Amino acid sequence: MLPEPSATFASDYISQATSAEVDALAQLYLDFASDRPSRGTLEEARERMERFVRSRHVWSCTLGGAIAGYVLVGRFTPRTVAIKNVYLSPSFRRRGIAEAMVRTVTRYYLGAMPLGFKGGPDTRPTEAMKQEICLNVVSEEAERSYKRSGF
C-alpha cells in the first residue's frame, strides 16, 4: 500500500540534494557512520556524497535553513529501488521528519502524485517509475520508523 503524503511537513523542503549541500551531507554521513570501525574521513565522506549527489541518489531535508537529514537510495533495477539509509541529525529527531522524507522518496519513485511536500519534485522519476521500494533495516528503531512511514 502506498504511503499517504503528510501535511505535517508541508513547510519543509524535501528534495534531491544539490552540490551546495555536499559539505553538510558529508558531516551527516560521518555522524551516521560514527559507530562503524571503518568510518572514514570527512574528505572521503565528502567525495562519497559528491558522487551520490551527481548520480541523484541522495535526498535532503532542509529545515530552518539547516540540512536536517538525508535519504540515500541505490540498488536500482528495472522494477525496484532500495532505500539504503536514512539519517536525521539528533536535534531534528522525534518530529516525524524521517517518516516525511521516506514518504516523499517512496512516492516519487513509485510515481505517485502529488508528493504533498513543498520542494518535492512535481514530475515523475527520471530513472523510470518503480514497482517496489526495498528497505535496508538494520535496527529496531529503523523498522519502527519505516512502519510509521506506511510500510
Report pLDDT digits (tens) over 24-74.
999 999 988 877 777 788 899 999 999 999 988 999 998 888 899 999 998
> What are the φ and ψ backbone dihedral angles of 74, each rounded to 5 degrees?
180, -165
* Residues of the domain holding 35: 7-148
Q: State the Cα–Cα distance between residues 119 and 55, nearest whole angstrom.
A: 19
Please report the pLDDT score of residue 135 as a whole number.
85
- DSSP β-ladder status, 58-63 and 66-74: antiparallel
Residue 120 belongs to some domain of the structure: yes
Residue 73 belongs to some domain of the structure: yes
**pLDDT above 90 coverage of the chain, percent:** 25
Please report the pLDDT score of residue 26 as a whole number.
94
Q: What is the mean pLDDT of the chain?
A: 81
Please report the pLDDT score of residue 24 as a whole number.
95
Please report the pLDDT score of residue 127 as a whole number.
67
- Positive/negative CA dihedral, 73, 7, 116, 4: positive
Q: State the Cα–Cα distance between residues 133 and 33, nearest whole angstrom.
A: 23
Q: Look at the pTM and tell me if it is higher than 0.85.
A: no
Q: Which residues contact 54 (CB under 8 A, 6 or more apart)?
A: 19
Residue 68 belongs to some domain of the structure: yes
Q: Average of pLDDT values for 83-111?
A: 86
Please report the pLDDT score of residue 139 as a whole number.
77
Q: Which residues contact 49 (CB under 8 A, 6 or more apart)?
A: 17, 22, 25, 26, 29, 58
Residue 2 belongs to some domain of the structure: no
Residue 11 belongs to some domain of the structure: yes
Q: Encode burial over 16-39: b for 16+ CB neighbours within 10 A, e otherwise.
A: bbeeebbebbbbbbbbbbeeeeee
State CA 8 to chain mean position distance. 17
Q: What is the CATH classification number for the domain harbouring 76?
A: 3.40.630.30
Q: From the CB of residue 129, how many other CB atoms can be counted at a distance below 10 Å?
A: 13
| Range from 63-67, 112-116, 117-121 carrying the lowest mean pLDDT | 117-121
Number of domains, the chain: 1
> What are the φ and ψ backbone dihedral angles of 14, each rounded to 5 degrees?
-120, 115
